[in-house]
Amino acid sequence: MHYWYGCIDTPFTEYRTHLSKFRLITDVIRLNKDLGNMIPDRSWMLYLLEVFNIQKHPVELNLICQFDGQNYFEAIFKGHNQYRFRDVLPEIGNSYYREITFLEKNSTIKYYLKDLSIGVEEEFCLSVNKELFAFQFYQCFTGIEWWNRMGHEPYNIRYDALVSKLMYGYNDNTDDPDSKTFFPIGTIYENKDGATNTYPINLNFLNRIDGCICYTVA
């Protein structure tokens, strides 16, 4: 009843000299079209921006769509919902900048979201125990996840979307927290749960925009 289909990247492959510095990951998701709500009862689906630390603990800033018509962005840590964004809400035609930042000095993870179409922004900072969580990247995942409480197959997605600006980064000036260096996510590889042979989506990879991988979910 749990399925996923998307792509994974391990930055060590292309950025081994920078990997130890990486502390933030970003993307932009644009909602092109509402395909209708065909999510089964008590079920939900996610458009993921997910990064794993070197202990393989997941940190996510996801767009969630539910069976009851609720659609929202959520900060997630180790599989547990932490914060629902209230000011930045999904609207058709709008683009959303998502950023997850590991702030080891403050023992926090910052989840930042901005509606690029109207300029509204919102952030959530989660305090974590650095004795139990290593503030270093290992791998990222981008794609779709389904939770089906009523059947044993993934169902049709809610939104046709464009994902772009997939990047890693880090603060390059300790005196200026807003000074950042970014690196386009490199070669990404198909990743799926393996529980089914077919998924009701197409991931269509396009030419890079500003050097960054971009794809449509349709």
Question: How would you class 8 by CB atoms within 10 Å of its CB: exposed for 0-12, middle for 13-18, buried for 19 or more?
Answer: middle
Domain count, the chain: 1
Q: How far apart are CA 189 and CA 214, in angstroms?
A: 13
22 and 169 Cβ atoms separated by less than 8 Å = yes
29 and 98 Cβ atoms separated by less than 8 Å = yes
Q: How far apart are CA 84 and CA 89, in angstroms?
A: 10
pLDDT, tens digit only, all 218 positions of the chain: 899 999 999 998 889 888 999 999 999 999 999 999 999 999 999 999 999 999 999 999 999 999 999 999 999 999 999 999 999 999 999 999 999 999 999 999 999 999 999 999 999 999 999 999 999 999 999 999 999 999 999 999 999 999 999 999 999 887 787 889 999 998 899 999 989 889 999 999 988 888 999 999 99
Torsion angle in degrees (nearest 10) through CA of 7, 172, 124, 61? 0
pLDDT > 70: what percent of the chain?
100
| pLDDT tens string 128-176 | 999 999 999 999 999 999 999 999 999 999 999 999 999 999 998 877 8
For residue 94, the one-letter residue type is N
Q: Look up the domain containing 213 and give its range.
A: 2-217
The CATH code of the domain that includes 53 is 2.60.120
Is the pTM value of this prediction over 0.85?
A: yes
Of the candidates 167, 210, 170, 169, the residue with the CA atom closest to the CA atom of residue 188: 167
